[in-house]
Structure 1
Amino acid sequence: MATQTPAAGASRIGSAVVAGRGVMRALRARGRRRQRQEEILLELLRQLTLMTEEIHRANLIQQYRLTVEQMDQAIGDSSLASAGSTLTGLPEGKRRQMIFAHRQYGNLLLAYRVRACDWDELIGHVRVLCRNAVFAEYWDRTVEHRRSLPADSEEARVGAAVDIILEELADDPDEWWIVGPSSGEPQP
């Protein structure tokens, strides 16, 4: 029968403890490394999301720039104004006014969509724009154009706010600075 001395058994246990600690350190290091990799991945995803949003805003601006160029041509050339407008029975000067009113509204909508202004700033600008009789007429004449917008779209929400402002202005035009939706962006 083989006998072990107590010192030999203790050294094996000591070696196992040291080895176990080493394994634990390696696992913790691997865990920290994995956690760091996940943090880096999350940061990259956040940056990618921001970049995607920025590209979307740049595309909106470019599309609006093209639309404005066409509207400018239509304002300057009555034959193009007739070709680009769905409003019928308007004299040339009135048609140009409607195109310009559309351009003003589109500019405010774009500013909001690319986050150049927030909801409260947009409503402030729209309040001023709605005081203009030409804009109010444009809005009334184009009500059918807005019916096809998805109800949860930004443009539909802004359009609903314009409707409220114009209704309230009709009731009390002297209180124009407080008409319209309350502060804070509406939820879709």
Structure 2
Amino acid sequence: MATQKLGVRRIGSATWSGAVGRMSAPFRRPSRRRRQEELTQDLLRQLAGVAEEIRHANLIQLQRLIVGQVDRAMADPALMAAMSTLDDLPDFKRRQLLFVNREYATILLAYRIGSVSWGELLGHLRVLCRNSVFADYWERTAEHRRSLPGESIEAKVGEAVDVIMEELAEGPDEWWVVGPSPEG
């Protein structure tokens, strides 16, 4: 008899547990597997963010190396001639062109690493394009830009500068709005 009561209780408690389990099913926590998948996805997102930060750090370090080389070249006419691809220029003009190239590269780097938006990039370029030395640099290096892959960031920015330069050549009163749309 005790066995029967014990058996009934087991059946009863199993039945009761099953009923409670079915009632609480919609309120259960995510399964362990689902939680692991969520944690894995979160970890992958964080890892991708770290990879992007490392990429940006590498771009910044590369820019530092280039700036150091340009500075050394600007101080030594022999190195300056070796660095510049533009021929028949007096040293002062070569220095100017190397310097505006460095300024342009710095603005482009800021966009590449996400420090400035497309609209902010265009604003910086509008100011730079008003400079006559930059205008001369841009004209002299048109051939250089033709070798860029059309889908590259530098080609896209180069096309924007071309539009800005064309519109500035028309002499607009409101130079700060020339060029492509900031939303582009």
Who is 2:82 aligned against?
83
> How far apart, in 1, do the equivalents of 2:72 and 2:10 lie?
91
Deviation at 1:11, TM superposition (A): 7.3
> How far apart, in 2, do the equivalents of 1:140 and 1:151 lie?
19
Q: Number of paired residues? A: 178
Deviations, residues 9-31 of structure 1 (Å, cap 9, x unaligned): 987875664575698789x9795
Matching residue's letter, 2:94: R
Who is 2:163 aligned against?
164
Q: 1:1-188 maps to which residues of 2 (within 5 A)?
A: 14=12, 17-18=15-16, 20=18, 32-184=31-183, 186=184
Question: Residue 89 of structure 2 aligns to a residue in which SS?
Answer: coil
Matching residue's letter, 1:162: V
The percent identity for this pair of structures is 57
- CA separation of 1:145/1:21 partners in 2, compared to 1, >3 Å: closer, same or farther? farther
Structure 2 segments unaligned to the other structure (5+ residues)? none
> How far apart, in 1, do the equivalents of 2:133 and 2:30 lie?
66
> How far apart, in 1, do the equivalents of 2:12 and 2:171 lie?
89
Alpha carbon RMSD of aligned pairs, Å?
Answer: 2.6
Runs of 4 or more above 4 Å deviation: 9-16, 18-26, 28-31
Matching residue's letter, 1:43: D
Give the alignment's TM-score, normalised by structure 1. 0.84
> How far apart, in 2, do the equivalents of 1:73 and 1:135 lie?
21
Question: Residue 163 of structure 1 aligns to a residue in which SS?
Answer: helix
Deviation at 1:173, TM superposition (A): 4.1
Give the alignment's TM-score, normalised by structure 2. 0.86
Deviations, residues 72-130 of structure 1 (Å, cap 9, x unaligned): 11111111110011111111111111100101100100111111111111100100000
Structure 1 segments unaligned to the other structure (5+ residues)? 1-6
Matching residue's letter, 1:168: E
Deviations, residues 132-181 of structure 1 (Å, cap 9, x unaligned): 01001101111111112111111111111101000000012432111011
Deviation at 1:182, TM superposition (A): 0.8
Deviation at 1:70, TM superposition (A): 0.5
> How far apart, in 2, do the equivalents of 1:123 and 1:30 lie?
50
> How far apart, in 2, do the equivalents of 1:143 and 1:55 lie?
32
> How far apart, in 2, do the equivalents of 1:80 and 1:67 lie?
13
Who is 1:3 aligned against?
none
